[in-house]
A and B are shown apart, each in its own frame.
Chain A
């Protein structure tokens, strides 16, 4: 695989290959010396046009555990603030010959655009409200760990679907792995035409009990100013996942960072049903597998090869 731009581009085989390799890398994260030389001498460039702590650091950690060199390029404090266009920035950075560029942009399609301007492998770390493919991969990875398989599982994605790239990638990824997906949220925050993705649509939590997995989305405060919902209080009353609504057999997920008391009550965040920290942990190994996939070759035949993860002692 040359780039990872969207879940829409992937096949189930691609996803399983990447996640199998992530499972192999997981063992590295448990060692004292958490490093393998798989990408030694390769350069990974993190190009982030939006504030991000966890995704950026997760990619950075993933690249470093594979022994790649990492350069972080944040939009603030850079030539971007001086008015440089995305294309000019990418051409400038490409002159340093990075092997991979991990890009986060507030605009849909930015990663795909950049892929046309550079020879580096492109990994989409979020493009506007379009997709966030590594988040979906790490969520599938987490659920495989937790449930074994997603086949025929019911997954509810609850919250601000309209502004969520996580929701879009996850609807596609969960369905690809055999799950049934329902999106649920305020009618003002469910985009017209979303059923075209194959998911069911609900506007209240009445049937939440049918879910095996409840995936809550982050409710962003700025949506209040835009009058998508009357108030956070009203939102919480209608859509908050709390101890009353969550049944003990359900798995609770969230992409973080959590607004306690808004989309999730504190008690469910701290309950054993929540796999939020598992998701974060999965983020590093899945991103290791993604970087390995685009940089060290992702031909299906590689699945049969010996694991490329020899411990490297310093």
Chain B
């Protein structure tokens, strides 16, 4: 029996859909290209033609070929494979006042993402083919970057009966998850693991034991004791991680553990991987950079599930990235409307937005102080869709252009010019961060262009024309500036 046969890499791109966009042709000159997978870490010229990486040459070696090729001065800037996120809440259908496919994918593009996967805990939840089909259909009109849709493991996300997983998978479900909730019943979860042999699709897991979480609203520790807020113990997560790794091991199934927060969970994953369990896992930028001390002010933007934990937990996640226990960085971008978050902490819904700040937060707090290498951070920000057998963007000739151009020196204050997301519940709001995304190319098309980026065209010198009016036309009109 080869349970992973159905985890088809070939058909992966069919599971990621976006609105039609004009393929980009551009030359990024003299840019510091960094791709940990293709082992490029040097100044280069990169030519993208009709959405595909056509040439990579030494800096100054390439000139724009005739035709509509936009030239972008990459001097002093970095070009990475664009980021991917296996864990995003687009709130569609049913909660479009928080986010929709257009605003969510716009937010992703602004954060340097070329592909994301949406969670199914919408209203209604994505537990049937018609709902999934409607989403895929809508994404072909509205999504600015390719988006995949996960489907529920259980019907109505109630944790009792499996969804029609084979049908959902063949229609295009990116993976299966009841994210927002754990699959509490071990017997039901075991059936899902068994059923994976038929339908494929990684099971992505929100790990939490509701009987241990209780009415908890933040990490259980000295800060929660001081604030008098009921705590969520670390073991609420780690015991379920251990249980599910054991079940996956027994059924030879493939699982992906979402948003790790506790050091005990990192240990459980590490031990499971050492035993050969087919498990991958993710950590979020906020869990990698913040702790429960940051919740002292009871700012509801810092209320999320799982909660921000202690320094030892944060450090274990960082070490997990270093030693390979933690496979990727995923944002768990979870938008909520302003009035939903403007309530007392214990009443507020869980979640922070994160797509637009992920790179800058991790770069500022972990790379600049020397805690993690830039190369490793880029690797982990581009690995998430590989964990569910979708896309791993690379900078190599012949690959579709999935690129992000970043100015590592640029400093900005989170939220000072608003957000592309419809919601503003960002836990990093007000923070001064370094590292600004200037341009995102997703599936070969320009998906985002920072307002201030200076454009240089092939037919002349520096263009002082406003952003959005470029020689290459088309795709840039999809940038946020076209909205204003």
A positions within 8 Å CB-CB of B: 8, 85-87, 105, 107-110, 112-113, 127-131, 165, 168, 191-197
Query: Do residues A107 and B228 form an inter-chain contact, with CB atoms below 8 A?
Result: no
B310 to A, closest residue via Cβ: A193
In contact, B344 and A108 (Cβ under 8 angstroms) = yes
With a CB–CB cut-off of 8 A, which chain B residues contact A127? 344
Known: A85-B339, A108-B298. A191 touches B224 (CB 8 A): yes
Contact call B222/A196, Cβ cutoff below 8 A: yes
Q: B346 to chain A: which residues have CB within 8 Å?
A: 107-108, 128
A290 → B minimal CB distance (Å) = 20
Contact call A108/B223, Cβ cutoff below 8 A: no
Q: Which A residue sits closest to B233, measured CB to CB?
A: A192
**Which residues of B are found within 8 Å of A87, using beta-carbon distances?**
339, 342-343
Please name all residues of chain B whose beta carbon is closer than 8 Å to the beta carbon of A193 when the two chains form the complex.
220-226, 231
A195 CA to B226 CA, complexed, in Å:
9
19 other A-B residue contacts (CB within 8 Å) besides A86-B343, A193-B223, A195-B222: A85-B342, A86-B344, A105-B344, A107-B343, A107-B344, A107-B345, A107-B347, A108-B228, A109-B345, A110-B344, A113-B343, A128-B228, A129-B228, A129-B230, A130-B229, A168-B226, A191-B224, A196-B222, A197-B225
How many angstroms between the C-alpha atoms of A87 and B233 in the bound complex? 31
* Contacting residues, chain B, for A128 (C-beta < 8 A): 228-229, 344, 346
B339 contacts across to A, CB distance below 8 A? 85, 87
> What residues on B are CB-neighbors of A129 within 8 Å?
228-230
Determine the residue in chain B with the shortest Cβ distance to A49: B344
Q: Is B227 an interface residue (CB 8 A)?
A: yes
**Bound-state Cα–Cα, A194 to B220, Å:** 10
A112 with B224, Cβ < 8 A, contacts A86-B343, A107-B345 known: no
Complex Cα gap A243–B128 (Å):
67
Give the CA-CA distance A242 to B225 in the complex, in Å. Answer: 29
Contacts of A194 in B (CB 8 A): 222, 225
Q: How far is the CA of A196 from the CA of B222 in the complex (A)?
A: 6
With beta carbons under 8 angstroms apart, the residue of A85, A110, A112, A197 that contacts B226 is A197
State whether A192 touches B343 (Cβ < 8 A).
no
Question: In the complex, how many angstroms separate the beta carbon of A165 from the nearest chain B beta carbon?
Answer: 6
Docked-complex contact B344 and A192, CB < 8 angstroms: no
The 7 A-B pairs of least Cβ separation, nearest first, read A196-B222, A107-B344, A129-B228, A193-B222, A109-B298, A193-B225, A130-B228
A154 to B246, CA, bound (A): 50
Interchain CB contact under 8 A, A192 and B231: yes
B222 partner residues in chain A, CB cutoff 8 A: 193-196
Interface pairs (13), CB distance under 8 Å:
A113-B298, A128-B344, A130-B227, A130-B228, A165-B228, A168-B228, A192-B224, A192-B233, A193-B222, A193-B224, A193-B225, A193-B231, A196-B226
B302 to chain A, nearest CB (A): 12
A307 to B54, CA, bound (A): 85
Minimum C-beta distance from A179 to chain B (A): 18
Give per-residue flags for B324-345: 1 if the beta carbon is below 8 A from chain A beta carbons, else 0. Answer: 0000000000000001001111
Taking the closest CB of chain A, its distance from the CB of B454, in whole angstroms, is: 40
Tell me which residues across on chain A come within 8 A of B226, comparing CB atoms: 8, 168, 193, 196-197
Q: Which residues of B contact A8 (CB under 8 A)?
A: 226
Bound-state Cα–Cα, A121 to B165, Å? 57
Which of B227, B231, B233 lies in contact with A108, CB distance below 8 A? Answer: B227
| CB-based contact A191/B231 at 8 Å | yes
B-chain residues with CB within 8 Å of residue A165 when the two chains form the complex? 228
Residue on A with the closest CB to B221? A193
List of A residues within 8 angstroms of B221 by Cβ: 192-193
Q: How far is the CA of A116 from the CA of B343 in the complex (A)?
A: 12
Contacting residues, chain A, for B344 (C-beta < 8 A): 86, 105, 107-110, 113, 127-128
Cβ-defined contact, B225 with A196, below 8 A: yes
CB-CB nearest in chain B for A110: B344
Which residues from B are CB-within-8-Å of A86?
A: 343-344
> A83 CB to closest chain B CB, in angstroms?
12
Which residues of chain B are near A130, meaning CB under 8 Å?
227-229
Closest Cβ of chain A to B345, distance in Å, is 5
Q: Are A131 and B228 in contact (CB under 8 A)?
A: yes
Among B221, B224, B227, B229, the most chain A Cβ lie within 10 Å of the Cβ of B227
Looking at the assembled complex, report how far the CB atom of A187 sits from the nearest CB atom of chain B, in whole angstroms: 14
Set of chain A residues within 8 Å of B223, measured between Cβ atoms: 193, 196
Interface string of B102-137 (1 = CB under 8 A from A): 000000000000000000000000000000000000
Point out the residues of chain A lying under 8 angstroms from B298, CB to CB. Answer: 108-109, 112-113
Instruction: Given A192-B221, A196-B225, answer yes or no on A108-B345 (Cβ-Cβ < 8 Å).
Output: yes
Residues of the A chain whose Cβ atoms lie less than 8 Å from the Cβ of B224: 191-193
Give B219-256 interface residues, CB cut-off 8 Å to A. Answer: 220-231, 233
The CA-CA distance from A196 to B345 in the complex, in Å, is 21
Min Cβ gap B475→A in Å is 42
Min Cβ gap A277→B in Å is 27
A105 to B221, CA, bound (A): 23
The closest CB in chain B to the CB of A105 belongs to B344
- Note all chain A residues with C-beta closer than 8 A to B231: 191-193
> Closest Cβ of chain B: how far from A90's Cβ, in Å?
11
Bound Cα distance A282, B224 (Å): 30
- In chain B, positions 330-387 with a C-beta closer than 8 Å to chain A are 339, 342-347
Cα-based distance from A128 to B230 in the complex (angstroms): 10
- Cα A86 to Cα B345 in complex, Å, equals 12
A86 and B228 CA atoms in complex are apart in Å by: 20
Say how far B216's CB is from chain A's closest CB, in angstroms: 11
Instruction: Tell me, in angstroms, the Cα distance from A110 to B298 when the chains sit together.
Output: 10
Digitize B194-237: 1 where CB-to-A-CB distance is under 8 Å, 0 elsewhere.
00000000000000000000000000111111111111010000
CB-based nearest A residue for B229: A108
Complex interface: chain A residues within 8 A of B225 (CB) = 191-194, 196-197
A129, B231: Cα distance in complex, Å = 12
CA distance A88 to B212 in the complex (A): 34
**A161: shortest Cβ distance to chain B, in Å?**
9
What is the chain B residue whose CB lies nearest that of A130? B228
Most buried by A among B222, B225, B226, B228: B228
Distance in angstroms between the alpha carbons of A168 and B223 in the assembled complex = 12
Which residues of chain A are near B220, meaning CB under 8 Å? Answer: 191-193
Q: How close is A61's CB to chain B, nearest CB, in angstroms? A: 27
Contacts of A107 in B (CB 8 A): 343-347
**Chain B proximity of A217: nearest CB distance (Å):** 13
1/0 per residue, CB under 8 A from A, across B28-39: the answer is 000000000000
Residues of A within 8 A of B233 (CB): 192
Q: Once bound together, how far apart are the Cα atoms of A194 and B228, in whole Å?
A: 10
Q: How far is the CA of A109 from the CA of B223 in the complex (A)?
A: 13
Q: Which residue of A lies closest to B219 (CB)?
A: A193
Residue of A nearest to B344 (CB): A107
Q: What does the 1/0 interface line of B263-299 toward A look like (CB < 8 Å)? A: 0000000000000000000000000000000000010
